[in-house]
Amino acid sequence: MSKKNKKKSAHGGHKNQPTGQEEGAVRAKKHLGQHFLTDESIAKRIADTLSLDGYTNVLEIGPGMGVLTKYLLQRDLDLVAMDLDEESIVYLNHSFPLEHQEILKKNNRLNVVEADFLKFDLSELYGEEEFAITGNFPYNISSQIVFKMLEMRNQIPEFSGMFQKEVAQRICEKPGSKTYGILSVLVQAFYDAEYLFTVPPTVFDPPPKVDSGVLRLTRRKELQLPCDERLFFKVVKTAFNQRRKTIRNSLKTFNLSDNLKEDAIFDQRPEQLGVADFVTLTQKIANDPV
C-alpha cells in the first residue's frame, strides 16, 4: 500500500456521527443488494482463498459488518475495506475496532473507504502497485465488478469472492455448456478460474433466494493476448449476443469477406469456442483483406 494510505487507520471517519453500537446492527439494504454473511467458518474460508503470493495489498468490496474483514486482518496484508453504505462505514470505523481490539493490535493496516467501487479511481489508493480483490459481492453489480477487474488486470494478480452461484459457475465454465458465455471467455483469457464451493442461503441475513458460489481467479503469466485485444472483446461480445447462431451469422455486422466466412471456424457456435479459438478467430478477422 502506498505511504499515504498506511497513515490512515480504522479509527478515522465521521467524528460527529453516532457509533455503530449506538445505531445497532447495520441493516441490509435491498437497493444495495446486501446479504450479510453470518457464518464464521465460511468467512474464514474466503479469507484463506488469497495466496498473498508477491503482494500484500487487498481490497475488500462490500465489507458490511466486517465478518470477512476480521479474518482478512488475521493475515499479513494491507487491507482497504470499501463500502458504499454509510451505515457500514460508521460501524467499521467505530464499533468494529472496539469489538476486535486484539485483531487490530496485531494488524492495524486497515483503511475504511466510503466509495462506489464501480466509480472509484483505484489509482488514488494503489498508484501502480498490485492488489488483490475479494469480498461477498452484491449480486446486482457482481458482473460489473468483474469487468472493471479485467480493465485493471495488469495490477490484479488474484481475485476471489462470493457471487450468485450461477454467475460464479458461468465465470468458471468450460466450452460446450449453455452457461458458458461472455464472462467465461473474457475472464479465462487472462485468469485461471476455479469454482471453490457452494454456500446455501441460510447463512445470510437476510437469506437470498438462491445459492451462492465462491471462486478464485489467478492471473496467467501472459498478460497480453496474441491478437488485437479490443477487437477480441468485441468479437466475443458480438458472438454471444446471438449465441444460438453460427459465428458466420452472429458476426454479420463485421462485413467479412466471403472467402474468410468459408473458414470452418465460422460453422461453429460461440459456446463451442475456447479462448484460443476466439484468439484465432480475432486474428483471422484482423487479417481479412476486406
pLDDT score at 207: 86
Amino acid at 45: R
pLDDT at 36: 76
| Helices 142-151, 165-172: crossing angle, 10 deg rounding | 30
**Half-sphere CA count of 23, side-chain side, radius 13 A:** 19
pLDDT at residue 206 in the model: 81
Report the predicted TM-score, pTM, of the whole model to 2 decimal places: 0.88
- Phi-psi category of residue 4: left, alpha or beta, with phi > 0 → left and psi -120 to 50 → alpha: alpha
- pLDDT for the residue numbered 140: 87
pLDDT in tens, the chain (290 residues): 443 444 333 344 443 333 333 445 666 555 554 577 889 999 999 999 999 999 999 999 999 889 999 999 999 999 999 999 899 999 999 999 999 999 999 999 999 999 999 999 999 999 999 999 999 998 889 999 999 999 999 999 999 999 999 999 999 999 999 999 999 999 999 999 999 999 999 998 888 889 999 999 999 999 899 999 999 999 999 999 999 999 999 999 999 999 999 999 999 999 999 999 999 999 999 999 87
Q: How many CB atoms lie within 10 A of CB 263?
A: 15
Q: Classify burial at 280, counting beta carbons within 10 Å of its beta carbon; exposed 0-12, middle 13-18, buried 19 or more.
A: middle
